Amino acid sequence: MDDIKYENDHFKFAYRVSAIIYNLDKTDILLFTGKDMTYYMLPGGKVKELENSIDAIKREIEEEIGFKSLNFTLSGISEEIIKHNNENIHQITLTYSTVYRSSQHKTEFKSVESDWISFKWVKINELHKYKIHPSNIINMLNKSNPIEIVHIIENK
């Protein structure tokens, strides 16, 4: 199955899933960056044709990080509508949250899928020190009601 994405000469669309992965005491979250990236993102990836989003996030996390048997809860929806390098980009991301139940983990490590992706556990109270894309994703961490779904629209 192919990723759900579309592109033409001046426009790109993608359907993506991401995960807020907390450490055991919920003081850190896991972020990633790539070789040529100047920002961090939540781990995840594109949804495949005929794949539901919960199966997609489980697959992506296992492929990229090797974490298995995590329980995910939908946290929010993000719509990014941006212009980048003269291209119009529209991406819809469903973001899930979970807790990585192991107390033993490296602070920084490479993806099991590819060497150009690096993961890092970041203190939640230090997230302001990092450039994160999309920037409003932090609002999903600060919600007071865990059942509330956050809908973020970022136009740039």
How far apart CA 130 and CA 128 sit, in angstroms, is 5
β-pairing, 73-84 vs 150-155, is parallel
Q: Give the predicted TM-score (pTM) of the model.
A: 0.89
pLDDT in tens, 42-98: 999 999 999 999 999 999 999 999 999 899 999 989 999 988 788 899 999 999 999
pLDDT at 90: 94
pLDDT of 115:
87
Q: What is the pLDDT of residues 127-152, one digit of tens each?
A: 999 999 888 777 787 665 666 677 77
Instruction: Specify the pLDDT at position 15.
Output: 97
| Structure token pair of residue 149 | 């779904």
Instruction: Tell me the CB-side half-sphere exposure of residue 81, using CA atoms within 13 A.
Output: 4
Class of 5-155 in CATH: alpha beta
